[in-house]
A = this chain, B = another copy of it.
Amino acid sequence: MATHAGIDKSAVVRAAAKIADDKGWDALRLADVAAKLRIRPPSLYNHIGGMSGLRRELGLMAARELGVALARATVGKSRDDAVRGLAAEYRAFVKRHPGIYAATMIAPSRNDAEMKTAGDEVINTCLAVLSGYGFRGDDGIHAVRAMRSAVHGFCALESAGGFGIPLDADKSFKWLVDALVVGLAARARSRS
């Protein structure tokens, strides 16, 4: 019998991420993860806290990777440039990792510090990008929520096949981002 196959938490999470990205967040099965690692399902419990623990790990991984990607995509840019860079990378990330991106939508439990940190990383990059417009305090939060709503909404609809008509989604995204930067700039000018 094969024992001690050299599997650790990271290997389990990576295998699960691949399956989630390939077959969809809802189609993730412990049996498939175990099969990919050539072990039996109960053995997974040595590394992760069951299905719910695994889901959290995937959400954490996705939030962290998204945070890094967004930071990298916006470094050295400001205002419209930064917003365009962030939006483009956000969408690229969702296309690259549709399964684990969905994992970032699970509500983090109250005292999950790691998850909170990873989420804050994303928010802070958004705040930094928007600070170029002069948003401060509450206005900055509103602006972040607006930008995230627009970009997340587009990616979610696109990922769910919500754009029935076969009209170029790239063009639509550019259209959205154009409208977004105009809206942000206008809001910045008229801010209280």
Contact = CB atoms under 8 A, between A and B. Distances in A.
A178 interface: yes
A78 B183 CA distance: 19
Nearest to A168: B138
Query: How many copies of this protein are present in the complex?
Result: 2
Interface in A176-191: 176, 178-180, 182-184, 186-187
Contacts of A150: 146, 149-150, 153, 176
A98 interface: no
Contact of A146 (B105, B116, B138, B175): B175
Contacts of A162: 105, 107, 148
B143 A175 contact: yes
A136 interface: no
Interface in A115-133: 116, 119, 123
A45 interface: no
A116 to B, nearest CB: 7
20 contacts: A105-B156, A106-B160, A107-B161, A123-B164, A138-B171, A142-B167, A143-B175, A145-B163, A145-B175, A146-B150, A149-B151, A149-B176, A150-B153, A153-B154, A156-B156, A175-B187, A178-B183, A179-B184, A182-B187, A183-B186
Given A145-B172, A146-B176, A149-B157, 17 more contacts: A107-B160, A107-B161, A116-B164, A119-B164, A123-B164, A141-B172, A142-B171, A145-B157, A145-B163, A145-B175, A146-B179, A150-B150, A152-B156, A153-B154, A178-B183, A178-B187, A179-B184
Interface of A: 105-108, 116, 119, 123, 138-139, 141-143, 145-146, 148-154, 156-157, 160-165, 167, 171-172, 175-176, 178-180, 182-184, 186-187
